[in-house]
């Protein structure tokens, strides 16, 4: 068995046949190696089929984030100039509004008819390891998403590193509940299929469904993100059944309350992944350490991932001494190929032949790595990256706003949340009007969870005029 979703199941032979047919269907539309096919869909079996057909053809699947606002989606589509947009019925109207003159292929009857009409034969392998296979979007510091191009070589390397650092076998299934436009699902789907394991697709995070799967299936890596652990624990307790077996649990331990880590590892009898990776790097640079079952960790020092080289550098890109904070730079076969159609970002982030992550670490005497801070300020909320500049731009577009700053605040459910500090020009400005303005322009998860009206003097600045965000974090950390 290769893949299942609910009552729908496909063996490897069936999956191979269907993805050959899909490849021929795309080729008959004039789609050739190097072209981009965009997809706007919730998690479905057909999504995985599109990933594999792209890999067979040397086509790049541009995975659209359906949580984005319409303007953001239009930007993401125009960035990659797709030849075709595959859309699910659920997101068809958004696809029609955003696609422009890009042809649509709708999942369901139209998709199945295309497979039925297509040539039923193996597809010729014309691919190169450096051919792109997916574009996954990551927020830019100016707010608009950037398209990270990930090659076939990089996906195979990411699978290899998972197999070495957090090994599991062909008998271990993977639950793809996290959106397939995220690397946490896409990378592990490829790894699972490379190993001959089973991928279980679910339509997002449904605690009761996930608990049922955990109680009947032997799993390798179980993705659990900040904000999802408590609902999952509640669902498992309500179900009243024990897990069949989980090898590894969780991601991003830094953003999870320590007691939750201990509780979920006891329930699953599985260690928690003390990971630190990114869309651009995959599981590296530092995802090889785990937190033992039942342990409430005092510190979260990390182990460097296999098959990568890292260097910590100062603002002049000189390597720092052990114990000194420095930006983490990396070389790895799992590294992405650059940001699509963004030469300035590539020149900046790949300078000197190393990819600069923008994250500051300190190397300890025992060789472990301690995360210090993000060089480029961002907020990680429930697994999503949120850059304040994007939200601030929306707030500052209100004629009644004099100034606005967005900072992060620790949150027991989501790890971190954005909060907005606003200087009003007019007392008529309300929290509700600001919230409505944000809802029209940005994705819901980016909308600040708190709004505070402050005076100009309440916004501390450096001698160069930059807002001292960390000072504001400390001041508003206990507000509600």
Q: Is the domain of 41 the same as that of 147?
A: yes
Give the CATH number for residue 388. 3.30.300.30
Largest Cα–Cα distance of the chain, in whole Å? 70
Q: Is the domain of 277 the same as that of 397?
A: no
Give the pLDDT of residue 225: 85
Answer whether 391's CB lies under 8 Å from 446's CB.
yes
- Residues 336-360: pLDDT tens digits? 999 999 999 999 999 999 999 999 8
Give the pLDDT of residue 383: 83
Residue 463 pLDDT exceeds 60: no
Q: How far is CA 168 from CA 174, 184, 200, in A?
A: 10, 16, 16
Nearest to 381 by CA among 372, 369, 390: 390
Q: How far apart are CA 90 and CA 3, in angstroms?
A: 22
- Residues 411-460: pLDDT tens digits? 988 999 999 999 998 999 999 999 999 999 899 999 999 999 999 889 98
Q: Is the domain of 246 the same as that of 386?
A: no
Model pTM?
A: 0.86
DSSP assignment, residue 442? S
Whether 346 is in a domain gets the answer no
Q: Is the domain of 87 the same as that of 220?
A: yes
**Can you spell out the DSSP letters for 32-101?**
-TT-EEEEE-SS-HHHHHHHHHHHHHT-EEEE--TTS-HHHHHHHHHHH--SEEEE-GGGHHHHHHH-TT
Q: How far apart are CA 42 and CA 462, in angstroms?
A: 44
- CB-side neighbour CA atoms (13 Å) of 472: 25
Give the CATH number for residue 45. 3.40.50.12780
What is the CA 276 to chain-centroid distance, rounded? 12
Whether 358 is in a domain gets the answer no
Q: How far apart are CA 326 and CA 314, in angstroms?
A: 5
Residue 391 pLDDT exceeds 50: yes
Residue 480 pLDDT exceeds 50: no
Residue 210 pLDDT exceeds 50: yes
Whether 51 is in a domain gets the answer yes
**Can you spell out the DSSP letters for 398-440?**
STTEEEEEEEEEEETTTEEEEEEEEEESSTT--HHHHHHHHHH
Kindly tell me the burial class for residue 13, based on how many C-beta atoms sit within 10 Å of its own C-beta (0-12, 13-18, 19 or more).
exposed
Q: Is the domain of 264 the same as that of 385?
A: no
Look at the chain and report how many structural domains it folds into.
2
306-333 average pLDDT score: 95
Whether 265 is in a domain gets the answer yes
Whether 321 is in a domain gets the answer no
Of 291, 312, 344, the domain-final residue: 291
Phi, psi of 228 (to 5 degrees): -105, -15
Task: Give the range of the structural domain holding residue 196, as residue numbers without chain letter.
Answer: 3-291
Whether 312 is in a domain gets the answer no
Pairing of strands 401-411, 199-201: unpaired
Of 291, 317, 336, the domain-final residue: 291
Whether 235 is in a domain gets the answer yes
Q: Is the domain of 258 the same as that of 384?
A: no
- Residues 247-270: pLDDT tens digits? 999 988 887 878 889 999 999 999
Of 276, 291, 306, the domain-final residue: 291
- Residues 104-159: pLDDT tens digits? 999 999 999 999 999 999 999 999 999 999 999 987 545 689 999 999 999 999 99
Whether 350 is in a domain gets the answer no
Give the pLDDT of residue 396: 83
- Residues 2-51: pLDDT tens digits? 999 999 999 999 999 999 999 999 999 999 999 999 999 999 999 999 99
């Amino acid at each position: 068995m290769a893949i299942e979703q609910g009552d729908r199941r496909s063996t490897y032979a069936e999956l191979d046949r269907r993805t050959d047919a899909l490849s021929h269907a795309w080729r008959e539309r004039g789609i050739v190696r190097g072209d981009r096919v965009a997809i706007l869909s919730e998690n479905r079996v057909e999504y995985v089929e599109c990933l594999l057909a792209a890999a067979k053809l040397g086509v790049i699947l541009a995975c659209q984030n359906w949580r984005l606002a319409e303007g953001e989606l239009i930007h993401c589509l125009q960035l990659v100039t797709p030849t075709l947009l595959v859309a699910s019925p659920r997101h068809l109207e958004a696809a029609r509004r955003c696609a422009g003159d890009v042809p649509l292929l709708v999942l369901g009857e139209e998709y199945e008819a295309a497979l039925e009409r297509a040539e039923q034969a193996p597809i010729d392998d014309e691919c190169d390891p450096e051919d792109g296979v997916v574009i996954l979007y990551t927020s830019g510091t100016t707010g608009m998403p950037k398209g990270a191009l990930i090659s076939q070589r990089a996906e195979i390397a990411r699978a290899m590193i998972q197999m070495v650092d957090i090994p599991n076998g062909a008998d271990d299934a993977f639950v793809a509940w996290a959106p397939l436009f995220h690397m946490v699902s896409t990378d592990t789907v490829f790894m699972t299929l490379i190993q001959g394991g089973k991928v279980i697709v679910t339509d997002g995070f449904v605690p009761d469904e996930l608990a049922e799967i955990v109680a009947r299936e032997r799993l390798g890596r179980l993705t659990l993100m900040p904000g999802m652990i408590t609902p999952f624990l509640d669902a498992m307790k309500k179900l009243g059944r024990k897990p069949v077996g989980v090898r590894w649990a969780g991601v991003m331990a830094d953003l999870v309350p320590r007691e939750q880590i201990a509780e979920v590892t006891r329930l699953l009898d599985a260690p928690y992944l003390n990971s630190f990776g990114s869309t651009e790097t995959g599981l590296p640079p530092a995802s090889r350490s785990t937190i033992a079952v039942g342990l409430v960790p005092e510190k979260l020092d990390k182990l460097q991932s296999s098959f990568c080289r890292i260097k910590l550098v100062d603002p002049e890109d000189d390597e720092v001494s052990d114990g000194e904070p420095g930006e983490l730079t990396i070389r790895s076969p799992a590294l992405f190929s650059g940001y699509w159609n963004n030469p300035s970002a590539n020149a900046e982030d790949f300078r000197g032949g190393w990819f600069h992550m923008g994250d500051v670490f300190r190397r300890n005497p025992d060789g472990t790595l301690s995360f210090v801070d993000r060089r480029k300020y961002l907020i990680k909320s429930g697994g999503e990256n949120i850059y304040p500049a994007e939200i601030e731009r929306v707030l500052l577009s209100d004629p009644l706003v004099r100034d606005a700053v967005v900072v992060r605040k620790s949150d027991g459910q989501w790890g971190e949340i954005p909060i907005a500090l606003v200087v009003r020009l007019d007392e008529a400005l309300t929290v509700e009007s600001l919230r409505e303005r944000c809802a029209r322009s940005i994705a819901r998860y980016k909308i600040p969870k708190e709004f505070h009206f402050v005076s100009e003097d309440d916004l501390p600045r450096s001698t160069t005029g930059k807002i001292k965000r960390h000072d504001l974090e400390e001041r508003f950390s206990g507000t509600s």
